[in-house]
Amino acid sequence: MNPLTLENNIQEVAAQERQFQILKQKTGEERLKLALQLRELVLSLAKASIKNEHPNLSAKELQKKLLQRIYGDDFCFEIGGK
């Protein structure tokens, strides 16, 4: 294994452990707020990516593409998407 890769992995694990320590110190309400903020960020990034790939989509088409990206083709097909 490449030593640089091993070092990077060790640093990642240490960073994750530190994040968990910080999160454990927060109240349930604070953790929920962070989770909701992350959800909004992920949705914004996904929408931006879809808009970049398909700049002329209507709002309804964008929503369908977003659902498809999140839940996959099977889910969208079942609710009448695609």
Beta-carbon-side half-sphere exposure of residue 11 (alpha carbons within 13 Å): 6
Query: What pTM did the predictor assign?
Result: 0.67
Residues, the chain = 82
Cα gap 47→62, rounded to integer Å: 7
pLDDT score recorded for residue 55: 95
pLDDT tens string 1-46? 556 788 888 999 999 999 999 999 999 999 999 999 999 999 999 9
For the chain, give every domain's residue range. Answer: 3-78
